[in-house]
Amino acid sequence: MATDNVNVIEPLGNRGEALLKTNTVDGETILVKLKGSFGEAFVVTDRRIYILKYGFMAGRTFRGQCTAYRFNQITGLESRKTLVTGILEVLTATDRDTGSKTLWGVGKKSAVRADNTIAYSLMFQGASFQRGFSIARETIQEAVSANTVYAVGHESAADEIGKLALLRDKGTLTEEEFQAKKRQLLGR
């Protein structure tokens, strides 16, 4: 089934929209906004992923909860499917109990009530969540790649300065030449 043309932006209802609005930052672009089955939502922006819980079944009868994950905090996204339901889980370094949360679980094993999971209907929402999951993974990968390129650039400048220092110590470069080249490299 092709999921490229599937709608991944849907209304969350009054409580969900209000909770999202109070937690997002001005200028954030929403890429994915999907409502789960039990008063919960999965939202991906250009800056982070949000898991919203605002329904009775999600354990938030009177007050909603929003858990935000910066892309550099996320170690993985997990998608598990049963016969009729799916569970999407955001993993971080502190989440070590993946796979044990289920739709029918109780307490810490409840996928509906856990802060980092969303339960959804495979029949009615499967294609949307599959596409949203793909967009989330692509966005995280792009963000991580952008940070890696930045770090590598700084690492190579440091390597060049180290090589120049060796040339200075050997007497090939004067102190003034070394300092000028160092300023140039750091000014990039």
For residue 31, give the 3-state DSSP assignment.
strand
Strand order across the 65-70 sheet = 30-35, 40-45, 48-53, 65-70
User: pLDDT at position 102, please?
Assistant: 56
Which of 85, 112, 84, 114 shows the shortest CA–CA distance to 97? 114
User: pLDDT at position 87, please?
Assistant: 86
User: pLDDT at position 170, please?
Assistant: 75
User: pLDDT at position 86, please?
Assistant: 87
- pLDDT less than 70: residues of the chain: 1-4, 56-61, 95-113, 147-156, 188
Q: Render pLDDT for 69-85 as a digit per residue (tens, 0 to 9).
A: 998 888 888 888 888 88
Q: Render pLDDT for 107-136 as a digit per residue (tens, 0 to 9).
A: 566 656 677 888 888 888 889 999 999 999
User: pLDDT at position 93, please?
Assistant: 80
User: pLDDT at position 3, please?
Assistant: 54
User: pLDDT at position 108, please?
Assistant: 60
